[in-house]
Amino acid sequence: ALDQWPPPTLAVPKRAAAAPMPKEDEETAFPKLKEEITLQLPQLIERVLGKVTEYHAKHVEEWNESIGQAVLEKLQEASGNFKYIVNTSIMEKKGAGFHTSSSTLWDPESDGAVSYRWENKALVCIVQVWGIGI
């Protein structure tokens, strides 16, 4: 119930492994990774949602988790020099509006963000990625 505080303990979903130690030969400026990440996002989403032809609310949590984990794994492969945040939103495609906004206070030389919208006839998926240099 919403009136319980603290809330009852919930099962913690599987998380990506901790980021590897930063490597000197890896990228340290997230803006330089943006193109690579933007090219990878459609493929990662497609692996999970590509054959989905109908929106099923009972599957959305699993789809979100699968996409988020796949994106985190690719990010960690690209560079261990960042803390990453990945947000996935999946909604049924019914013509309703969806607006989102993020505000940040960071170093634009090392930190950055990417947002990608993927859709098919049944649903819309928006993936947002933030990389914060460590």
Query: For the chain, what percent of residues have pLDDT higher than 90?
Result: 69
CA pair distance 120, 53, nearest whole angstrom = 8
pLDDT for 37-84, tens place per residue? 999 999 999 999 999 999 999 999 999 999 999 999 999 999 999 999
With pLDDT > 70 as the criterion, what percentage of the chain qualifies? 81
What are the tokens at 34? 């943006």
**Segment 9-17 mean pLDDT:** 51
Mean pLDDT of the chain: 86
Q: Give the tokens for residue 52.
A: 């989905």
In words, the CATH class of domain 30-133 is alpha beta
Helices of type H across the chain: 30-49, 57-78
Residue predicted with more confidence, 56 or 22: 56
